[in-house]
Structure 1
Amino acid sequence: MSDVTTALLAGAIALALVLHLAWLARASRNRAKAALAAEVASIRTAIADAVDISDGTVGVLTWVGSWNERRVQVRTIVDTLATRKLPARWLSVSVTEPVAVPATFDMMMRPGSPTTFSNFDHLQHTLPKAPGFPAEAVLRTDLRGARFPQNLIASHLDIFAEGRAKELLITPNGVRIVWLLAEAERARYGVFRQAAFGTRLEPALVERLLASASALRDAINRQERQVA
């Protein structure tokens, strides 16, 4: 084989490789667009007037709207911190209405490493747990001596029995539940270091988490009115 033929063959192989990589990139973008469209449809099935207010932060998408006449927020967060074995995708669902609590109450399940979705690590005061809280839960607050209706809160934690709910945050401004939506596909991440998540965001899950957060908020406010 002549040098010219060899050079032409090498050039053809290089061009084919470039074209193949471009095709893969285009296919990946198309899949991402289709996945986002499906996700938006799912969220608007649960929250008809949902508006995308994402600020451009990589891996974070945020929608706000109303559900059962309450202001709500839904956020998905891709967590690629090096401390995790696999990247994770979290679903954060909040009812952003006033709650009758004196400070921040944060319950984190198995808080072994920092997270990208919570300020739990920055809360300085650990609370003793009342009976009924999961053994793996740690409670913290930002106000020493703050008292919370722990017995009431503990009675609304059924959703944490499944092992996918990660955080319950209660503040004077609302109630938030964070849920593990999916972990990255191990094979693809191990070979290509690409965080691909196969699990779809289902409207029923969004509504279920909203219903749980809303019921807890209502119960806290109802109890406060009865005490007053």
Structure 2
Amino acid sequence: MEASLLLYLSLGIFIIAVLYSSVGHAGASGYIAVMSLFSLAPEIIKPAALTLNIFVASITFLQFYRAGHFRWALFWPFIILSIPMAFLGGYLNLPTQVFNMVIGVILLFSAARFIFDLRPDTPKVAPAIPAAAASGGGIGLLAGLTGTGGGIFLTPLLLMMRWATAKHAAAVSALFILFNSVSGLAGNITATLSLPLFALPIVIAAVAGGSIGSWMGSRRIGHIAIKRLLATVLLIAGMKLVFFP
């Protein structure tokens, strides 16, 4: 890739990492959209996005954890089935154009809802363990199939069901994304027998953006702003799935 194109790609990755990490996400759906715009090969995009996810999710979780927003009791029921299902989704290579478009429309609907969500940021009930485990398994499969960590599905679920505050959801989603990204990447490597390819400037851009965004999201941004930023993230993810399935 030419130096100028690599610079623009790195800038796009940086912006996505700042935006996504501010709401506890790692940015895979955004990275996929940016890399698709630069016409990278599909077999390169998915594992590269998951690799960047691992870097950014690690930083994001650490920031939200240090700020006191992580809740283990909320996290573990969602992860127990998501890891094997993310591996399965990463292993499978299905023709998912229609599937991605349907998921994209759902994410766009979620984005519209969060734009106007001004409810107090207080959880109503804790999720039942069977419901959380089943939801986590389904989200893990979606994460593996779409090449993401699943945060774009988990965070809206936690907030819409009022199972968590915005920042607690962000902290839980960050670690959820980390586990699923590792599992999904392992499944992809197992299926393709090849390691992901990426350039060092892109990794640096993602790490820098993730560090800035997660610090702002965990310590400086209020819950209403978090929801508005989440709406933007879901809008980008939904448009990516609809227009770049």
- Normalising by structure 2, we get a TM-score of 0.25
Q: TM-score by structure 1 length?
A: 0.27
Larger radius of gyration: 1
